Structure 1
Amino acid sequence: HSKIANIRKDTLHKLTTYLAKNHSQIVIEDLNVSGMIANHKLAKAVADMGFYEFRRQLEYKCELYGSELITVDRWFPSSKTCSRCGTVKESLFLSERVFNCEHCNFSCDRDLNAALNLAMAVSSTVTACGLDNADVARLKQE
């Protein structure tokens, strides 16, 4: 157990250091982790991720390396909003892994669509997933 814990800690430190050193702005979502843990199908995977520690390390490392950490409100509908036309879906089930917009027929991976929306929400040049404005524009055209 300690070996696995040390591997997770090392990976977390390396990832947060890389992000803070190499990006001037990092955008993350303020997630309802306790609500996600209440879902018995997600609980183990979410608990193993260490979201709080990831955010804590990002906060102090961004300050240390001069990066800006932007936290988007948990109620922002990043997954439900079409990144091409801006239409917001009434509901989107967790089982729907591909976002399909009925308004403009845009289809995209659900998580990529959310990342594109977060990038546009704060008008940032770089997001936590490493996309810049040129990447966002290119992906929206695909």
Structure 2
Amino acid sequence: MSTLYVDSEGKRANYPRFYRKALETLAKEQRKLSRKKKGSNRWHKQRLKVAKLHEKIANQRKDFLHKESHKLAKRYDCVVIEDLNMKGMSQALHFGQRVHDNGWGMFITFLRYKLAEQGKKLIKIDKWFPSSKTCSCCGRVKESLSLSERTFRCECGFESDRDVNAAINIKHEGMKRLAIV
């Protein structure tokens, strides 16, 4: 979960992990809050400090997501994304905070309205589409591909980064759907 997205050209949006960076400061301020007597003036002041830290993290995340969605909306006429179940990923794959920190749902919302404002399209591909397991060169689908395998290798000799290969497959599927519509 080091990147927010990878496009079909191999460009990545490296997510700065705002929550992770502020975690130490946030924990320190929350510890101070827990030591204060609830309801006292100092407790209220400390509670505001903690709230301001959370607000700063949220604002940093929103700013980053707005800028990235603006770049995509300005650059492409149609954006094709995989409809991922981020809540399931955070629970099942033990990514937890990393998944929630990158704000994928918020990013999709921003991207959707920015594309709609410009008269452009957003196409969602089903989460069960085997984008990572399919060779973008020959179309052969692998039976299994573990998450730890970061390089996709096919029997036809094609070799690529796993995420770039998936992005190319998602692009091809989106082009098929765009041709149907």
TM norm structure 2: 0.64
Q: What's the counterpart of residue 28 of structure 2?
A: none
**Off by >4 Å, runs of 4+ in structure 1:** none
Which segments of 5 or more consecutive residues in structure 1 lack a partner in the other structure?
125-142
SS of structure 2 residue aligned to 1:104: coil
Q: How is 1:49-64 mapped onto 2 (pairs within 5 angstroms)?
A: 49-64=102-117
Q: Tell which structure's C-alpha radius of gyration is larger.
A: 2
CA distance, structure 2, for counterparts of residue 20 and residue 57 of structure 1 = 10
Q: What's the counterpart of residue 116 of structure 1?
A: 168
Higher helix share: 2
Which segments of 5 or more consecutive residues in structure 2 lack a partner in the other structure?
1-52, 177-181
Matching residue's letter, 1:122: G
Matching residue's letter, 1:66: G
What is the number of residues matched between the two proteins? Answer: 123
Q: What's the counterpart of residue 121 of structure 2?
A: 68
SS of structure 1 residue aligned to 2:137: coil
Aligned with 1:35 (options 85, 88, 93): 88
Q: What's the counterpart of residue 147 of structure 2?
A: 94
CA distance, structure 1, for counterparts of residue 97 and residue 153 of structure 2 = 29
Identity %: 51
SS of structure 2 residue aligned to 1:78: coil
Shift, 1:33, TM fit: 1.1
Shift, 1:40, TM fit: 5.4
User: Is the 1:21–1:67 Cα contact (8 Å) retained in structure 2?
Assistant: no
Please give the root-mean-square deviation of Cα atoms over the aligned residues, in Å. Answer: 1.4
